[in-house]
A and B are shown apart, each in its own frame.
Chain A
C-alpha cells in the first residue's frame, strides 16, 4: 500500500484518539466545535479546489469529491475541538496568543511536510502563509461561535 494511505489511516487513528482524551463534561463543547468547523471547512475547501488553488491527488471518495474529506470532515474539526476544550481562558493574553500560534503553526508545519513529501496535497497557487492565516482565522471564528453558543 502506498505511504499516502498509511498517513490517512494514522490521521484517522490519531484524531479518534484525541476524542477519547476530551473530558466528559466538555463533550458538548467538542461537538459544537467540530460541527461548526465543518460548516467552515466544507465551503472554503470546495471554493479553493474549484478555483484550482490546491489539489489533493490522493483522497477519499476520489471520483465524486476533489477536496480532502479526511482533513475537512474529521481531522481539522477534531483538532479544533481540542483547541476549544483546552483553551486557556484564565491565562494572560500573551499566553492565549501563544496558544493560537502554537496550534496554527503545528498544523501548518504538518501540512508543509505532507505537501513536500507526499501526494496528499499539492499547492498550485498557494503558499504556507495562506494556510497559516486561514487556519488561525478559522480557530478564532470557532472560538467566537463556541463562546456565543455556550454564553449564559
Chain B
C-alpha cells in the first residue's frame, strides 16, 4: 500500500515536471490538446474494458466512486501522450517515425506490465501483455489521428481563432 501511494505521488509529480520541462511554452496549446484528447479516448475505452473485466485496479484513488486507476487514466498516460505528440517529427521518412511510435508504445506497455507484476495498482485478468501492447497502440493511434485532424489545416485554425 505504501509503495503504491508513493508511485501514484511520483506519477503526479513527474507528470507536472515532464510537462513543464519538456514542452516549450509555444507548444502548450498542442500539448494540452493532446493531453485532453488522449484522456477522452482512454476514458472511453477503459470504461468497457474494466466493466468486462479485462483488467482491474485493486489499489486506487477513489475506491468508492470508480474502479478505474484515476492517476494513470486522468493524468499520467495523457501527459506521456502529450510529450510523445509534441516531440513527434512531422516530416522525415516513414521508418524513423514508425520507430519513434513503436518505442513510446512499447516503453509504456513495459512500465504497465511492471506495475501489474510488482504492485497492486493494476491487475490483468484475461488481458495478456501483448493484449496491453495492442491496446496502448490503439489508444495512441486513435488519439494521434484525432489530434492530427485538429491541427491539420493551419489556415482553418487561424480563422476559427478570429471567429471566437
Is A12 among interface residues, defined by CB-CB distance under 8 A? no
Q: Is the CB of A151 within 8 A of B62?
A: no
User: How many angstroms from the CA of A64 to the CA of B51 in the assembled complex?
Assistant: 6
Q: Any chain A CB within 8 A of the CB of B23?
A: no
Contact of A120 with B by CB under 8 A:
no
CB contacts under 8 Å to B, within A108-152, are: 146-147, 149-152
Structural contact, A65 and B67, CB atoms closer than 8 A: yes
The answer to whether A46 touches B62 (Cβ under 8 A) is yes
> Is residue A25 contacting chain B, with contact meaning CB distance below 8 A?
yes
A38 in contact with B163 given A63-B51, A66-B64, A69-B47 (CB within 8 Å): no
Q: Mark B48-90, 1 if CB is under 8 A from A, else 0.
A: 1011000000000011111110100010000000000000000
Complex Cα gap A20–B157 (Å): 20
A87 to B163, CA, bound (A): 11
Query: Would you call B65 and A25 a contact (CB within 8 A)?
Result: no
Contacts of A45 in B (CB 8 A): 65
In the complex, A60 Cα to B157 Cα: how many Å? 35
Binary flags per residue of B34-45, CB closer than 8 Å to A gives 1, else 0: 001101100110
Q: How many residues of A contact B (CB 8 A)?
A: 37
Q: Name the interface size band of chain B.
A: 20 to 34
Min Cβ gap A46→B in Å is 5
Q: Residue of A at shortest CB range from B161? A: A150
Complex Cα–Cα for A91 and B25 (A): 33
Q: Which residues of B contact A149 (CB under 8 A)?
A: 29, 32-33
Asked if A58 is at the interface (CB within 8 A of a chain B CB), the reply is: no
A9 within 8 A of B: no
For the complex formed, measure the closest distance between the CB of A10 and the CB atoms of chain B, giving whole angstroms. Answer: 21
- Please tell me which one of the listed residues B65, B156, B157, B160 contacts residue A67 in the complex, with CB atoms under 8 A apart: B65
| Per-position 1/0 for B151-162, Cβ under 8 A of A | 000001101111
Known: A32-B33, A69-B47. A64 touches B66 (CB 8 A): yes
Query: Which residues from 57 to 83 on chain A have a C-beta closer than 8 Å to any C-beta of chain B?
Result: 60-61, 63-67, 69, 73
User: Which chain A positions have C-beta within 8 A of B32?
Assistant: 149
Q: Which of A31, A35, A50, A61 contacts B65 (CB 8 A)?
A: A50
- Using CB atoms and an 8 Å cutoff, list the residues of chain A in contact with chain B: 25-26, 28-29, 31-32, 34-36, 38-39, 42-43, 45-47, 49-50, 52, 60-61, 63-67, 69, 73, 84, 87, 89, 146-147, 149-152
Q: 13 pairs across A/B with beta carbons < 8 Å?
A: A25-B163, A28-B156, A29-B163, A31-B150, A35-B37, A46-B66, A49-B62, A50-B64, A52-B64, A61-B50, A63-B51, A147-B164, A149-B29
